């Protein structure tokens, strides 16, 4: 499986990004490509790919981040 498009659906609608846009920083900082509400200015997680497969890498403030209801405690492969 090769990843060539990332689809992001959030409050702003749906965006399609080429895989060349990865890695994407998810967090509260102004330097994050995917902004989420919250205090401070930190990267919560990074969306990237390895061998054509998408994965999430938790950041320093990922304690409250959940994927399908499960806490993101370590890097996690995503189903494409």
User: Are 8 and 34 a contacting pair, CB within 8 Å?
Assistant: yes
User: Are 22 and 1 a contacting pair, CB within 8 Å?
Assistant: no
Neighbours of 1 (CB within 10 A): 8
23 pLDDT higher than 90: yes
The partner residues of 4 in beta bridges, in order of sequence, read: none
Rounded Cα distance, 46 and 30, in Å: 14
> In this predicted model, what pLDDT tens digit does every residue of 28-74 receive, in sequence order?
888 888 888 888 888 899 999 988 888 999 988 777 788 888 888 89
Greater model confidence, 12 or 45:
45
């Amino acid at each position: 499986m090769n990843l060539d498009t990332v689809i992001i659906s959030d409050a702003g609608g749906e965006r399609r990004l080429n895989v060349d846009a990865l890695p994407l920083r998810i967090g509260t900082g102004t330097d994050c490509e995917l902004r989420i509400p919250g205090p401070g200015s930190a990267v919560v997680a990074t969306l990237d790919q390895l061998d054509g497969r998408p994965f999430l890498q938790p950041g320093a403030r990922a304690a409250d981040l959940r994927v399908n209801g499960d806490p993101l405690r370590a890097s996690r492969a995503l189903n494409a």
